[in-house]
Amino acid sequence: TNPLLDELPSYQSLLYRRKSSAGGSRQRSSSRARLEKAQELSSWEQWRQSSRKHLKRLRDYGQERLSSLKLWRGDIHLIEGMFGTGILSYFSFLRFLVTLNFIIFLLMFSFIMLPIIIAPHLSGNITYNQSGECTVYSSGVRQGLVNYHKYITDLLSGEGFLEQTYLFYGYYKVDKIHFPHITYNLALAYLLVTIGYLFLSLIWIVKRSATGFKHNLIQDEDRFQSFCNKIFAGWDFCITGDNAVKLKKKSLLCELKTDLEEEKIKQKIADRTRGEKCRLYFIRLILNLFAVGVLAACFYCIYLATSFSQKAQMSNKKVSFIVDLINEYLPSIVITFANFITPVLFSFIINFEDYSPAFEIRFTLMRCVFMRLTSIGVLLFSLWSRITKCKEETCACGYNYEQYSCWETHVGQEMYKLTIFDFIVIVSVTIFVEFPRKLIITHNKSAMSKWLGQQEFSIPQNVLEIVYGQTICWIGTFYCPLLPAICTIKYFFIFYVKKVSLIKNCRPATRPFRASSSNFFFLGVLLIGLALACVPVIVSIAQINSSRACGPFVNYTTSWEVVPTVVSQLPSGIRTLLWSLSSEAFAISFFVLTWFVFHLAMFYVIALAGAHKRVINELREKLEMVGLLRLYNDNLVFLFVFFFKTVELL
């Protein structure tokens, strides 16, 4: 070896000396600055700073405790490790809906049911004034000896003994509750709670969507940067347990597979020739026309089934238990059958359209969303066309009283049947289709079992199921106040059914996808469902005459009429202010101003996001430049030391 080179310090030792000297000087300067600053601060400022630190620690501790109490926290971490963040997004979405429905149930129970329950115990006087014609409510409560299968029919259809319970609108024959010191207007409370749960759902979904949009914006980065972040900075060094280590490794592996799959598809799209693009666009056009035809046929079948079912129920002809049950559930059966067939067709034809995995999921989901949510609209349209139509040209009671003495309860029963039937179908498919398929594939090695293959967990189909169920819940809560409680229990059981089916029956998707954009898109689809749910509720509140034989709005032409009635009883100054706010001039001005402010805020947010993105890119470039300069300086120091050592020896 060369003795001249042996005397030179190594490159690592130079770096270590530089870092230690710089770190020591920074530590001394920072400690000196903190000491000087502490001496300058008064005792009051010192107390404020210490209190702020303690409160921050207390808040962090509280947030940590609350996160540990989250529903299904351990189960969701297990699913993330085994199947990746894509399927995790579905179960997180399901947990959100359980929480949302439980909050809606608490609102309905606290402001509508609880006052009626506690009124007899607090010397409350319930008033209910009915006047005029159409006041007899011919409910379907059975009299005398009833066969057991009738109770099963009632339980599945919401009729019979369930019709006159807290479950449906018609049971709330209460106008006002007079307590010793206050009068509770139940009709106004019913209307305000309905508006409240829709507005709460909107705010909550938008808030979660904004969070997902920010995550999506942050993760919209250069793919090489994404790989580096996952490989060099993706590990959590706080993990200690062996099981947690395995789950984290599997989660990172799934994310890297997703990135590589997306890169592969982008390269494939870039390599297409003009002829291949034309052929692909022609295939997509033909397949989209086929999808439109399938949707039109399904809507027509739903309309015919609803009309036939209503005629069969109004005829009061009892054939047999099975036939009567089919007549009751015929619209639900047709809707469920259409919802079962169309996703299979759409999932099949999407394979020939050659989209990316993320867009494939979104496009399939949008097609199925349009099918499912519009089917509910067709059902309600066919119902309301019969409710608002009478034998004469004009209805004497404002609606078809002869066939629907309490039409709100009838609509609530239809929503109840859709909810129950949807749950039965989900559980039945899991038990009688997915589990037998797994057994056949495991114990039978024939060509048929190989062709079937192990089932994949279809995220679009499963997300659509719960969005469909939640849309029914939003529509039906006005007519069936206990429906949110039923949906909470339904989703609670669906979580465990889907979890067991996922672990036992399914395999990870061959085309994995990321959860960042999926969470945002799922909430966007849910927002579409909420918008659709608001339309029939608003129409029934503001346009259709309320039933005169049942419910809290018997003394009002429409449900909305309770608002001007209550406003007219307020003091003159407040009344004048409210009438001015509800005038057309103010409404138009407010709409224009809101539209302008909304678009201004949207443009501001977009511009701010673009500015932040540019700043992030500039900071990345500066970090790269600083790294190169540091490397250059270190090499320069090494050369200078080498030069001076050489001069000294010479």
pLDDT digits (tens, 9 = 90+) for 450-466: 777 777 777 777 888 88
Q: Which amino acid is at 477?
A: T
Phi/psi of residue 341, nearest 5 degrees: -80, -45
Q: Give me the phi and psi of 581, to 5 degrees please.
A: -65, -30
Mean predicted confidence (pLDDT) in 12-16: 44
Percent of the chain with pLDDT over 70: 69
Secondary structure percentages of the chain, helix, strand, coil, to 5: 75, 0, 20
More confident residue, 81 or 490: 490
pLDDT given at position 18:
45
Q: Are residues 567 and 589 in the same domain?
A: no
pLDDT of residue 8: 43
Alpha helices in 178-241 (DSSP H): 186-219, 223-233
- Residues 378-425: tens digit of each pLDDT: 878 877 777 877 766 677 777 777 777 888 888 888 889 889 888 988
| Last residue within a domain, chosen from 547, 582, 617 | 582
CB atoms closer than 10 angstroms to residue 550: 25
Number of residues in the chain:
650
CB 227 within 8 A of CB 259: yes
461 within 8 A of 368, measured Cβ to Cβ: yes
Q: How confident is the model at residue 101 (pLDDT cuts 50, 70, 90)?
A: very high
Q: How far is residue 381's CA from residue 414's CA, in Å, rounded to a whole number?
A: 13
- Alpha-carbon distance of 630 to 55, in angstroms, equals 40
Residue 173: name the closest of 129, 140, 141, 133 by CA. 129
CB 482 within 8 A of CB 409: no
> 599 is in which domain, residue-wise?
584-649
Q: Are residues 489 and 588 in the same domain?
A: no
Measured between alpha carbons, how far is 452 from 459 in angstroms, rounded to an integer? Answer: 19
Residue 563, domain member (yes or no): yes
Mean pLDDT across the chain: 75
The dihedral built from the CA positions of residue 561, 566, 568 and 569, taken in this order, carries a sign that is: positive
Q: Which of 562, 582, 602 is the last residue of a domain?
A: 582
Residue that is last in its domain, among 540, 567, 582: 582
- Residue with the two structure tokens 């962090």: 60
Q: Which stretch of DSSP H or E encloses residue 329? A: helix 321-349
Q: Could you give the percent of the chain with pLDDT greater than 90?
A: 7
Reported pTM: 0.73
Question: Edge-to-edge, what's the strand order for the sheet holding 176-178?
Answer: 125-127, 176-178, 183-185
- Asked if 422 and 536 sit in the same domain, the reply is yes
**What pLDDT is recorded for position 509?**
59
387: in domain: yes
Tell whether the model's pLDDT for residue 109 goes beyond 80: yes
**599 bridge partner residues:** none
The conformation of residue 432, written as its DSSP 8-state character, comes to I
Per-residue pLDDT at 229 = 67
- The pair phi, psi for residue 259, each rounded to 5°, is -60, -45
For 264-278, give the DSSP string.
Answer: HHHHHHHT--HHHHH
- Asked if the structure places residue 276 within a domain, the reply is no
Lowest mean pLDDT among 274-278, 513-517, 530-534: 513-517
As to burial, measured by CB atoms within 10 angstroms (0-12 exposed, 13-18 middle, 19+ buried), residue 201 is: buried
The DSSP H or E segment spanning 547 is none
Q: At what angle do helices 459-476 and 357-387 cross, to 10 degrees?
A: 30
pLDDT, position 7: 44
Same domain, 105 and 217: yes
Euclidean distance between CA atoms 90 and 518, whole angstroms: 9
- Give the side-chain half-sphere CA count within 13 A for 588: 2
> Residues 372, 415: one domain?
yes
pLDDT of residue 103 exceeding 90, the answer is yes
pLDDT of residue 107: 93
Measured distance CA(355)–CA(526) in Å, rounded: 23
577 and 639 belong to one structural domain? no
Residue 209 lies in a domain: yes
Higher pLDDT, 168 or 35: 168
Are 591 and 563 found together in one domain? no
CA 640 to chain centroid, in Å, comes to: 63
489 and 593 part of one domain: no
